[in-house]
Amino acid sequence: MDEYTKGDVYVAALIIIGNEILAGRTQDTNTQWIASRLTDHGIVLGEVRIVPDDKEMIVKTFNDLRANFEYVFSTGGVGPTHDDITADCVADAFGVPLERSSEAFAMLEEHYGLEELTPPRAKMSMIPKGSTLIPNPVTAAPGFVIENVYVMAGVPRIMQAMLDHVLGAIKSGKPILSNTVACSLPESAIAADLAELQDNYPELVLGSYPHYRGGMLGLSLVLRGTNPEMLEKATDDLIALVEKHGDEPRALSIRSTGS
């Protein structure tokens, strides 16, 4: 991720916690959602790790990533059951105890009523010492922030509400803009020209993505960067490049924000 101008964007890692993704039972959709939202906020996702509900692995993953990225987000493992061990793991990773958050306890009490606040539900008020809460408008069980680590629920609807809250509060970079040009050329026909275009615009990232749709091989060429003028100039060059090879480029999205 060296390509973006240093200081323009932040670089984040994402940890997806859950056996259900690794078993192929559940299609992860949180990564794409989070990636898109971060892009709009000038935060580049630099790595994603999907890990099982395994304490040693989760602790190691948080420690690896929080040392190497400006932000670390996680989803999953914050519920009331035996396989919800994220808070415990993050406390271990930071070398702090879990402690009851009176604020979280009050949120859960308001949601469930004191009589229904059973021990498994009360467990969801235990967060690493030094954390602050990320509110959960759906089921009250909060996420939390400790230093540069943001722990969110795995259920998409809840995660999305938590992410909105987080993105309203953290430091953003310049939005990462992208332009996509689609064509029908085989990528090998224009590979040399694409490499030259990438060399001409070191602050942009040029991606080449072949795909099958309806039995036809197509190609999407994507330029990304934070400088709108440079992006526009490079996109004009890219369109000219495709035309030079005898194809009619289709601008799928020009000067849009996000990906």
79-138 binders of its own copies (CB under 8 A):
79-83, 118-121, 123-124
User: In this structure, what token pair is assigned to residue 221?
Assistant: 């060429």
- Tell me, residue by residue from 22 to 41, as one string, x for binding to its own copies by CB under 8 A and - for no binding: xxxxxxxx-xxxxxxxxx--
- As a whole number of angstroms, the distance between CA 155 and CA 50 comes to 15
Task: Please select the residue that binds its own copies; options are 5, 160, 198, 227, rule is CB under 8 A.
Answer: 198
User: In this structure, what token pair is assigned to residue 88?
Assistant: 């415990």
Nearest approach in angstroms of CB 130 to its own copies is: 26
User: In this structure, what token pair is assigned to residue 80?
Assistant: 């009331």
Nearest approach in angstroms of CB 121 to its own copies is: 5
Nearest approach in angstroms of CB 136 to its own copies is: 13
Among the candidate windows 143-151, 161-169, 187-195, 233-241, which touches its own copies by CB under 8 A?
A: 187-195
- Tell me, by CB under 8 A, how many residues bind its own copies: 74
**Interior angle at CA 194, CA 44 and CA 186, nearest 5:** 110
User: In this structure, what token pair is assigned to residue 49?
Assistant: 């790790």
Phi, psi of 235 (to 5 degrees): -65, -40
Task: Please select the residue that binds its own copies; options are 98, 126, 155, 167, rule is CB under 8 A.
Answer: 155
Phi, psi of 110 (to 5 degrees): -65, -40
CA atoms within 13 A on the CB side of 93: 28
Using DSSP, state whether 46 is helix, strand or coil: strand
Q: Which of residues 55-84 bind its own copies (CB under 8 A)?
A: 57, 79-83
User: In this structure, what token pair is assigned to residue 24?
Assistant: 């192929």
Question: Is residue 46 a contact point for its own copies (CB under 8 A)?
Answer: yes
- As a whole number of angstroms, the distance between CA 135 and CA 224 comes to 33
Nearest approach in angstroms of CB 48 to its own copies is: 4
Task: Please select the residue that binds its own copies; options are 9, 89, 177, 222, rule is CB under 8 A.
Answer: 222
- As a whole number of angstroms, the distance between CA 96 and CA 197 comes to 50
Q: Which of residues 237-256 bind its own copies (CB under 8 A)?
A: none
Among the candidate windows 18-26, 91-99, 143-151, 231-239, which touches its own copies by CB under 8 A?
A: 18-26
